[in-house]
Homo-oligomer: A and B are copies of this chain.
Amino acid sequence: MRPDDARRRLRALGFRDADAEVLAAHFLAAEERGQIGHGLSRIEWLATWDSLETTARPRRVVADGGYERWDGSGALGYLVLHEIVEAQLAAPPAHARIVVAADTFPTGMLGYWTRRLAEGGLVAALTATSPRRLPHPSGGPALAGTNPLSVAVPSSDGRPVVADVSMGSVTYGDVLTGRAQPDELVPFGGDAAHKSFALAVGLQLLVDALTPADGFGAVLVVAAPESDPVPALRRLAAVPGVRLPGDRP
């Protein structure tokens, strides 16, 4: 698919113009960052869904200062996170806020959402669940999703640092696009895979325990920064061959 075709193809699937724009912007940003598995191939993937809901709207069901709970209500997870990000930027927390998103799938490249918050001056940490695809390193059934964790921190130099780490050795998108085999989708780290497995299980249960029903979801911490640690880290890291998470090569 050519980038120019993305919006047209999404509208053809039934999405209204504004939503097609949100989705296309996400997929194109993933392509641009080399996260191909989260990119345009996902449009063809959406086209294979048996019942693709294109008109549902997410709802904020609890808003209590330092806590919000949202429900996707059938909307695509990308669109739920978009609404959540916009709502946080429009009304940032005085100090910090925990946002729980139930019925929220798929969520795509989490760093895309946290980067938008950091570019708006907010610290963000975000995790999200997806179908169980990671087995224990010693084998057995799939017990946890790839459950990425993204942390983004704004900077007075205008360049946030954005970490975005999936617990899988490859992404499910890599499998979808044929660049990896399904059996390569295991916790990352080789001999240390028990560590990424533990993180995947912990993040899975965190999201599952904070959402009221079965299904996939996301948990976001969003906060006003109390200090500005990025510039000093950039100075320390100004060494050939060293690149901070989320920076372009």
* Chain A residues proximal to chain B, CB less than 8 Å: 62, 64-67, 69, 93-98, 100, 123, 125, 132, 136, 138-141, 143, 149-154, 161, 163-166, 169, 188-192, 195-199, 201-206, 208-213, 221, 223, 225-230, 233, 236-237, 239, 241-245
- Given contacts A190-B189, A191-B190, A239-B140, are A163 and B201 in contact (CB under 8 A)? yes
B residues in contact with A65, CB < 8 Å: 65-66
- Taking the closest CB of chain B, its distance from the CB of A65, in whole angstroms, is 6
- Determine how many copies of this chain the complex contains: 2
15 A-B pairs with C-beta separation under 8 A: A64-B66, A67-B95, A98-B98, A136-B242, A139-B242, A141-B237, A141-B239, A143-B237, A149-B199, A153-B209, A163-B202, A196-B196, A197-B245, A201-B244, A210-B225
Indicate which residue in B151, B197, B201, B212 contacts A202 across the interface (CB closer than 8 Å). B151
Q: Is the CB of B98 within 8 A of A96?
A: yes
Q: Is the CB of B136 within 8 A of A205?
A: no
- Given contacts A138-B241, A138-B242, A143-B233, are A64 and B94 in contact (CB under 8 A)? yes
User: In the complex, what residue of chain B is closest to A237 when comparing beta carbons?
Assistant: B143
Q: Is the CB of A229 within 8 A of B209?
A: yes
Indicate which residue in B165, B201, B227 contacts A161 across the interface (CB closer than 8 Å). B201
B residues in contact with A67, CB < 8 Å: 66, 93-96
